Amino acid sequence: MSVPFNPTRNATAGSTAAPTTSNLTTTGQCAINAYTGTYYMRKEDATISDIVGDRLSGFRNRMINGNMAIDQRNAGASVTPADGAYTVDRWAAGLTQASKFSIQQNAGAISGPIGLPNYLGATSLSAYTVLAGDTFRITQAIEGVNFADFGWGSASASPVTLSFWVRSSLTGTFGGSLRNSASNRSYPFTYTITAASTWEQKTVVIAGDTSGTWVGATNGIGVSLAFSLGSGATFSGTAGAWAAANYISATGAVSLVGTNAATLYVTGVQLEKGLVPTPFEVRSYGTELALCQRYFCALNPTSTLALALSTTTARVGLQPQSKMRTTPTFSKIGNLVRLVGVATDSTQSAESFTDASSSASLAIVQLGNFSGLVAGSVYVVADQAAQIGLNSEL
């Protein structure tokens, strides 16, 4: 059973020292360093519920792949993304002008912060002057079923704490935002990078939004987090306040795309309920991969049987590793698909994937652009470098 909560404080600005607990003589007293948010209590009062209470157990970090360890699509290769394209898993690019930045897992091949060896790296490809209607960003949308307990849009909306590690070749005040699914409620925030090319940890505390429409426990977008790489006046608003607008960044924030070859590296991204940041929640690689595979999975269909429907088409069934958010769409990763039969074999001449009555649990894919297949015959998928991407991102 937990003891009562009767805090005292060490509020010295910048102090990271533990407040003295020698004068905590009453059962249930504790001390708080108001600058770091660290709690201290008498050891004789500590209980299991104090140590692993609601905020220190389960799925407290609502970001997926916040440590940037999973990169199913690109396997660490640099990409110049189109608007809406996904980079490392769960992180999408948003842009209004093409070819202004690239994204790469572990760009620049530097060391990450201790305990976080992987990071998402954005690199400016020119010195572009952002127009009023421009925005460039990296973003992750959190599914409604993973955010509904925050109660946003009600009088009981919970505050959240965003924490992350960041490193940039530039210094100054950078921006980002949280937004609802309709992009008509947003909270611009700022963070300051004080030293160039140095990892710094940042914390942003955000009051829960008691207004607007927020998707509940559905498979739609619960909330979206954006880190701006440069946003014009249309997409920039006053930092630190909720607004009935689609803001990506805070007014006056640094524009990464405005400096050629400028870099912004991010990792250890955590969004959690409450006012105090906790250490980054490290989940096993297998757990993080499975969470990512609800939204995207790359399947190697080698040795899977395919039924030829005609001389040019065949159908194959694929089982996702996790039940996906919704019925997926399909794309090629790696080589085109090759089918081998008893008398003939054929490789696709171009990518062709069509949904053939799939579901979130089973992908039935019609493959096209073959030649010489025998309708009704069974073939084996034979190219180990051919993968099919199943996509059900938000």
pLDDT at 91 over 80: yes
Instruction: Answer whether 183's CB lies under 8 Å from 246's CB.
Output: yes
Is the same domain home to 215 and 283? yes
pLDDT at 193 over 90: yes
pLDDT of 92 strictly over 90: yes
**How many structural domains does the chain have?**
3
Task: Retrieve residue 53's tokens.
Answer: 């209470």
Q: Which domain holds residue 27?
A: 6-51
pLDDT score recorded for residue 24: 45
Identify residue 314 by its one-letter amino acid code.
A
Q: Is the same domain home to 212 and 323?
A: no
Amino acid at 192: T
The pLDDT of residue 262 is 99
Indicate which CATH number applies to the domain containing 222.
Answer: 2.60.120.260
- Span 40-81, pLDDT tens digits: 444 454 444 444 445 556 799 999 999 999 999 999 999 999
Q: Check whether residue 101 and residue 146 sit in a common domain.
A: yes
Q: Rounded distance, CA 382 to CA 366, Å?
A: 16
The reply to whether 286 falls in a domain is yes
Percentage of the chain beyond pLDDT 90 is: 83
Residue-wise pLDDT tens digits, 264-280: 999 999 999 999 999 99
Q: Is residue 315 part of a domain?
A: yes
Type of residue numbered 199: W
Cα 97–Cα 101–Cα 102 angle in degrees, nearest 5: 130
Mean pLDDT of the chain: 90
pLDDT surpassing 90 at residue 371: yes
- Statement to judge: residues 162 and 174 lie in one domain: yes
283 shares a domain with 153: yes
End of a domain among 291, 316, 345? 291
pLDDT (average), residues 199-217: 97
The arithmetic mean of pLDDT across residues 236-242, rounded, is 98
Query: What pLDDT is recorded for position 55?
Result: 54
Q: Has residue 298 been placed in a domain? A: yes
Q: If you search the block for the tokens 């992750």, which residue do you land on? A: 140
300 and 331 belong to one structural domain: yes
Query: Are 162 and 271 found together in one domain?
Result: yes
- What span, in angstroms and rounded, lies between the C-alpha atoms of 160 and 223? 12
d(CA 242, CA 30): 33
pLDDT band for position 384 (cuts 50, 70, 90): confident
DSSP 29: E
- The mean pLDDT value for 292-315 works out to 96
Residues 284 and 299 in one domain: no
pTM of the model as a whole: 0.86
Assigned domain for 85 exists: no
My answer on whether 27 and 175 are in the same domain is: no
How far apart CA 2 and CA 265 sit, in angstroms, is 41
Residue 87 belongs to a domain: no
Q: pLDDT tens-digit profile of 166-187?
A: 999 999 999 999 999 999 999 9
Q: Are 136 and 101 in contact (CB under 8 A)?
A: yes
> Which segments of the chain does DSSP mark as H helices, in order?
48-51, 285-293
In this structure, are residues 334 and 386 in contact, taking their beta carbons and an 8 Å threshold?
Answer: yes
Q: Span 1-18, mean pLDDT?
A: 42
Q: Which residues fall within 8 angstroms of residue 116, CB to CB, at 6 or more apart?
A: 67, 165, 267, 268, 280
Tens of pLDDT, residue by residue over 315-336, are 999 999 899 999 999 999 989 9
- My answer on whether 131 and 277 are in the same domain is yes
Q: Which of 239, 274, 291 is the last residue of a domain?
A: 291
* Residue 209 domain-assigned (yes or no): yes
Nearest in space to 265 (alpha carbons), one of 196, 203, 204, 205: 196
Does some domain include residue 67?
A: no
For residue 378, list its beta bridge partners: 307
| Pair (242, 376) in one structural domain | no
- When pLDDT is averaged across residues 219-226 and rounded to a whole number, the result is 98
Name the pLDDT band for 35 (thresholds 50, 70, 90).
very low
Give exposure, 309-347, as e/b (b: 16+ Cβ within 10 Å): beebbbbbebebeeebbeebebebbeebbbbebeebebb
Assess whether 130 and 210 both reside in one domain.
Answer: yes
